[in-house]
Amino acid sequence: MLFKPTSLYQFYKRYETLDLTPIHQSNPQPFTMIELEAIIGKKTSFLDDQLELGYASLQGDLRLREAITTLYEHENPDEIATFVGAQEAIFCAMYSLLKAKDKVVAISPIFAPLIATAEEIGCEIDLVSLTPTKDKWVLDLAQLEASIKADCKLLIINFPHNPTGAMLTEDELLKIIDICDQNNCWILSDEVFRGLEFKPEQRLPAVADLYPQAISIGVLSKSFATPAIRIGWISCQDKMIIERMIEIKSSFSICTSHIDEQFAIHIILQHEKVWERSRNKVLNNFSNFDRNVTKSHLLSRFIKPQAGCVCFPLLNDAILASDFSEELIQNKNLMTLPADLFISSHNGIRLGFGYDNNSHLISSIFST
Ligand X SMILES: Cc1ncc(COP(=O)(O)O)c(C=O)c1O
Tell me which residues touch ligand X (CB under 6 A): 26, 85-87, 111, 158, 162, 190, 192, 219, 221, 227, 232
- 105 close to 143: Cβ distance less than 8 angstroms: no
**Minimum distance, C-beta of residue 227 to ligand X, in the bound complex (Å):** 6
Closest CA to 354 of 201, 221, 257: 221
Write down the least CB distance from residue 134 to ligand X, Å.
Answer: 25
Strand stretches in 51-92, DSSP E: 80-83
Closer CB to ligand X, 60 or 232, in the complex: 232
Beta-sheet pairing, 137-138 with 314-315 = unpaired
Q: Kindly state the smallest distance separating residue 260's Cβ from ligand X, in Å.
A: 12
Q: Which is nearer to ligand X, 194 or 277 (CB)?
A: 194
Neighbours of 121 (CB within 10 A): 17
Contacts of 184 (CB under 8 A, 6+ apart): 213
Which of 281, 366 has the CB closer to ligand X?
A: 281
Q: How far is the CB of 71 from ligand X (least distance, A)?
A: 16
Q: Residue 106 or residue 334: which is nearer to ligand X going by CB?
A: 106
Our CB check for ligand X shows the closer of 111 and 366 to be 111
* Number of residues assigned to the chain: 368
Q: Long-range contact list for 136-140, CB < 8 A, 24+ apart?
A: 136/166, 136/303, 136/306, 137/161, 137/164, 137/166, 137/303, 139/107, 139/166, 139/168, 139/172
Which residue lies nearest ligand X, judged by its C-beta? 85
Minimum distance of ligand X from residue 242's CB (angstroms) = 18
Which residue's CB is nearer to ligand X, number 221 or number 306?
221
Cα distances from 326 to residues 153, 321, 322, 333, 338, in angstroms, run 38, 9, 6, 10, 9
Provide, rounded to whole angstroms, the least separation between the CB of residue 217 and ligand X.
7
* Residue 184 Cα distances to 58, 151, 168, 295, angstroms: 29, 9, 22, 46
Write down the least CB distance from residue 180 to ligand X, Å.
Answer: 19
Instruction: Compare residues 27 and 147 and give the one whose CB is closer to ligand X.
Output: 27
Number of Cβ within 10 Å of residue 201's Cβ equals: 5
Collect all residues with Cβ–Cβ distance below 8 Å to 291 and sequence separation of at least 6.
none
